[in-house]
Amino acid sequence: MTVQAEAPSGHALHAQGVRRSFGSVQAVINASLTLTPGTVTALIGPNGCGKTTLMLMLAGLLRPDGGTVEVLGHDPVTAGAVARRGIGWMPDVLGMWDSLTCAETLETFGRAYGLPRNEATERAFAMLEKVHLADLAAQPARVLSRGQKQRLSLARALMGDPAVLILDEPASGLDPRSRIELRDLVRALASEGRAVLISSHVLSELDEMVDEAVFMSRGVTLGESADAEVARARARWRVTALPGHDVHAALSQAARDWSPVEGADASVAVVHVADADDAADLLASLVGQGIRISAFGPVGSALEQAYLTIEQERR
């Protein structure tokens, strides 16, 4: 699979100050983000905050009222055909032609991207295999389950061999096994050099999938303040020792920034670490003091914690 070249700036996609209204409703007020080749970026925010509207503008399917969008150095408004050739768009609902099979659906999109008929057919079957739908190639798309339609939609987004993938709630309707496969597939697509933007309400899954996160609230992307909140959340690690071992005293003696866990005794605490090396040093120090540690790791989902804190602050 050949990924298209990135823009001279080194960015696959860059948006600055984008806005869009529908009559008196301001759906997107001020949104900015940058996607880098080889990375997965999460777009996070509550329902109604403007995520889908922003994604439609980034995909070149909706004209912004203001601001700029560049895809591989091209403006989707003034150079729509060129820009859209670099984009794979997966909406949250498949949309389909009832009379077409899964293979025919993909072949049609391949032809729309300018692929010769034989190449479109070959690529359609390759994409069906990639998303584990090859055995349903001859079935009409209307008979697919919700999760299968999501996988077909992802295959459709890949038909043009895009450098930028924009995925709106791709895990919706997927069973646990399919969610794991999706996570692995998204990481593999990024490793091929693609820039992936993905929205989802399942933040714990995004934590395991993404490199960066863009938070959005009330039509505005939050930028550095949200980045700082994610960093703070990722710095919180929970340390649990066997009963009878005083983690609180050991952390205080080491002059660490820590806090007790509500409802737990002195064998459990939450401690702030600078990075993975600092965490490793702390663990070695505690073990060296004779503290028998049974569990040590980040406190839950950093994206989830950051999201809850940000939303609480903006109420």
- Local structure of 11: helix, strand or coil: coil
Phi and psi at 156, nearest 5°, equal -60, -40
pLDDT tops 60 at residue 5? no
pLDDT band (50, 70, 90) for residue 61: very high
The mean pLDDT of the chain is 91
Phi and psi at 12, nearest 5°, equal -80, -40
Per-position b or e across 62-85, b if 16+ CB within 10 A of its CB: bebeebebbbbbbebeebeeebbb
Phi and psi at 54, nearest 5°, equal -60, -45
- Local structure of 156: helix, strand or coil: helix
DSSP structure string for 244-311: T--HHHHHHHTT--EEE-TT--TTEEEEE-SSHHHHHHHHHHHHHTT--EEEEEE-S-HHHHHHHHHH
pLDDT at 181: 87
DSSP structure string for 94-119: ----TT-BHHHHHHHHHHHTT--HHH
Choice among 50-64, 211-225, 234-248 with the minimum mean pLDDT: 211-225
pLDDT band (50, 70, 90) for residue 311: confident
Domain ranges for the chain: 13-229, 235-313
pLDDT at 315: 67
Q: What does pTM read for this prediction?
A: 0.84
Amino acid of residue 239 = V
Amino acid of residue 38 = G
pLDDT band (50, 70, 90) for residue 106: very high
Largest CA distance in the chain: 71
pLDDT band (50, 70, 90) for residue 60: very high
pLDDT tops 80 at residue 98? no
* Residue (of 289, 303, 300) closest to 256 by Cα position: 289
pLDDT tops 60 at residue 8? no
The better pLDDT of the pair 63, 207 is held by 63
Mean local confidence (pLDDT), 124-131:
95
Q: What CATH number does the domain located at 235-313 have?
A: 3.30.70
pLDDT at 29: 97
Per-residue model confidence as pLDDT tens digits over 257-288: 999 999 999 999 999 999 989 999 999 999 99
If you ran DSSP here, which 8-state letter would residue 60 be given?
A: T
> What distance in Å separates the CA atoms of residue 279 and residue 266, rounded to the nearest whole number?
19
Summary count for the chain: helices (H), strands (E): 11, 13
CATH class of the 13-229 domain in this structure: alpha beta
Mean local confidence (pLDDT), 196-204:
89
pLDDT tops 60 at residue 7? no
pLDDT band (50, 70, 90) for residue 213: very high
pLDDT at 1: 53
Mean local confidence (pLDDT), 243-258:
95
